[in-house]
A and B are shown apart, each in its own frame.
Chain A
Amino acid sequence: MTLFRVFRGTRDGGGLHDYQVAATEGMVVLDAVHTIQAEQAPDLAVRWNCKAGKCGSCSAEINGKPKLMCMTRMSDYAPDETITVTPMKAFPVIKDLVTDVSWNYEVNKRIPSFQPRAPDFPDGTWRMYQFEVERPQEFRKCIECFLCQDVCHVLRTHDKHEQFMGPAMLVRAAVYEMHPLDEADRRDYLRHEGGIGFCNITKCCTEVCPESITITDNAIIPLKERVVDANYDPLAALWRKVTGKGK
């Protein structure tokens, strides 16, 4: 038997409740939560869909670490270790392990959308090469688990949701910014509304990403460089605009 301590509560507060679960071979934390739900607490709220790390629904904090419950095996913990499961801290609790992540969707809506260059061929198609698509493809691996948002101190500790879009949404912007066909300019958005300057490159987000996206090095730093160039070197910015180079 393993002792689980699971947060039970709502927006108005709550606390940790103890449940005993018999571990079976290969069991993941989400299985244990489901066992508790099926046998002891049918109203225990939790999100999940794929059970294979593909949908990003089951994010929570396990012994204080932001993780996907479906990809965290109980064998990663000592047999007598208590496993504590709490909701993500950077978002308001709805109930138990379910948090209100709607803010992320609001931010995404405001990121300037994809704008492709005119098609290369009269049949409306383009040519892109594998080496060109690989960079944005890394960011497209994002499963919107929001664990990086949860761990980023700007959101988690300083609550700057109004001013800073957070690493997950920077990754989203990076998909299009580094898309070989895209012509939109998101630098103004990133600098002002997106608040990219709030990121001080601590790399905590990269560490928790279950998709191993190198968020800081590959997405945020190049975006910061673009924003800086645009602001301090108007000539270079103009040159880029005219030639379409350096995008």
Chain B
Amino acid sequence: MAASDLKSHTYDVVVIGAGGAGLRAAIEASALKAKVALVCKSLLGKAHTVMAEGGAAAALGNVMGEDNWRVHFRDTMRGGKMHNNWRMAQIHAQEAPDRINELEAWGALFDRTPDGRINQRPFGGHTYSRLAHVGDRTGLEMIRVLQDKGVHSGIDVHMECTIVKLFVVGGKVAGALGYFRETGRFVLFKTSAIVLATGGIGKAWQITSNSWEYTGDGHALAYEAGAELIDMEFVQFHPTGMVWPPSVRGILVTEGVRGEGGVLKNSTGERFMFRYMPDMFKGDYADTEAESDAWVKGDRTKNRRPPELLTRDVVAKAITKEIAEGRGTEHGGVVLDIASKQSPDYIKKKLPSMYHQFKELAHVDITKDPMEIGPTTHYVMGGVKVDAETQESTVPGLYAAGEVGGGMHGANRLGGNSLSDLLVFGRRAGQYAAGKRGAAPAIPDAEVEQAMREALEPFEHAGENPFAVQSALQAIMQRDAGIIRDKAGLENALAELEKLKGRARKVGVTGSREYNPGWHTAIDLQSLLIVSEATARAALERTESRGGHTRSDHPDPDEKQAREQIVIKKEGGRMAVRREVQPPIPADLMALIKESV
């Protein structure tokens, strides 16, 4: 097909991704009178944000008046193992309360405190009760509010449209090429400002809480466009995914279960988390069951939090160790029990969708019986390197916000900090992208034609089933680039991925271009290969253990590497890896982090 026959649109700002970050960016850009397109792979309202359960973290101080942005900043930095972009962590902590209040002004119905304010629940790594929530369906509330605000703001939504290529001309953003899933036809967006809000990469692993969409498209699009990726070794394995039956393996069990008092036990019945307290957090958590129980009952000033609420990296590793040492359950998990800590009515009220999920999918009544859980791939801390204030990447006119952005969460993200991140940095990306509007450079026809040809390749020949290559990739990443890594495994992963690139080039698809999942999977494979390689290369480079990255051959943190970032960039057709030292944390902020509260 000639580029001249292609359907094309011209916009001031094109936002790719319609989760919390993309919607918030689009709303902001539109409020600044930019002509905005919002493009998403699924239907509107189905992005990952809809699945978020526990809540959005913001130091509103509604439940515990002692809370403020400084404590939130401190918790975020400590949770991120001091590796975070400090300026992003600061902006996030300062602006999150306004962003949550703004959602209320747009119609959000958060759960309330007795005096009529937004209620907040405790969560792992947060010193005070901080998560604004709606039962255990906070993401649904958030996306619906943003969706309704968005459609009433005059944004053009292009649903079920997948972007496959970004065009950069003369060093500046010029546009993007996509195809509509329904028809298989291509569409060209011409623009000088693109906001990537495509979410994460979790589909690169076998056991995951993520959907088919999480193939790392935004990471790969940015990489191909010449932008830098950082922190790709930091992948969050959430401690609690379902493990049984096999068909639901990996589906998330919200941290809210532990926030509401749920405890972890091994097969001997021991509450093992007391044995896994890292030095950094000694003194912040309860050291007896009696103290934990008193805290759960609501006496939060005199008692400290239960150790189940340690940061996710710590809890996931503890569970992995218990299982590896033979104290796991029949199906290779550990026990999460809330039934013995809270009444059935309370559980149904606070965790309705968990109750429903276990009842329907596992035939387990969580008000009576314990759950069987184990770690599941959940979130990528790494992403496109951006400027903290503007969210602009190293490519002028290309912005990234939400899970696809890197830096904010450092080596480990605190629960609840993603939903607030989407709002804070989504808004900023939209604001600065709108400021970038102007004539976009013309995209050479030949580049567009080549991109279309490449996308249609799998129709050209008979070949291997793309689903088979995708599952081979997932098996490699699960085995060699999972929770516990080492040099030999990572090198093996890289060698295997190299072979898979060859197989991926030769996949074939049958049928027409209309709504053809085989074809979609073949295209998504290209992104999966890039993000998998980036993760493995960065993980090999970081010779220490920190947050979500654990090396059995380098089991300890190395303070020299704490503020070093592994940067990935495409150079001369190859993936180049280098280290870069982040700017030092200013003394006043350093004092905040060290403060004990």
Contact = CB atoms under 8 A, between A and B. Distances in A.
**A and B are interacting partners:** yes
Interface of A: 10, 24-28, 31, 37-39, 42-57, 71, 73, 94-96, 98, 100-102, 105, 108-109, 113-114, 116, 119, 124-130, 133, 136-137, 140-144, 175-176, 179, 181-182
Contacts of B517: 37, 42-46
A73 B152 contact: no
Given A52-B357, A130-B111, A137-B134, A96 B515 contact: yes
Contacts, number: 172
Given A28-B247, A42-B467, A49-B212, A101 B43 contact: yes
A26 B134 contact: no
Given A28-B247, A42-B509, A43-B519, A124 B514 contact: no
Given A31-B247, A124-B101, A49 B148 contact: no
Nearest to B467: A38
Given A42-B467, A55-B50, A113-B148, A50 B518 contact: no
B374 to A, nearest CB: 15
Interface of B: 42-48, 50-51, 101, 104-107, 109-112, 114-117, 134-135, 137, 140-141, 144, 148-149, 151-152, 157, 159, 182, 211-213, 244-248, 251-252, 353, 356-357, 360-362, 465-468, 471, 509-512, 514-519, 521
Given A114-B106, A128-B112, A133-B112, A54 B211 contact: no
A133 B119 CA distance: 12
27 contacts: A26-B245, A38-B465, A43-B512, A43-B516, A49-B51, A52-B51, A52-B251, A55-B51, A57-B42, A57-B43, A71-B360, A71-B361, A105-B159, A108-B151, A113-B152, A119-B105, A127-B115, A128-B112, A129-B112, A133-B111, A133-B112, A137-B109, A140-B109, A140-B144, A142-B144, A143-B50, A176-B107
Contacts of B246: 24-26
Contacts of B518: 37, 42-43
Contact of B105 (A31, A46, A73, A124): A124
Contacts of A47: 42-43
Contact of B361 (A28, A46, A105, A137): A28
A125 B62 CA distance: 12
Contacts of B134: 137, 140
B152 A49 contact: no
B109 A42 contact: no
Contact of B46 (A57, A96, A102): A57
Contact of A53 (B144, B360, B509): B360
B140 A140 contact: yes
Contacts of A44: 517
Contacts of B182: 94-95, 98, 100
B467 A37 contact: yes
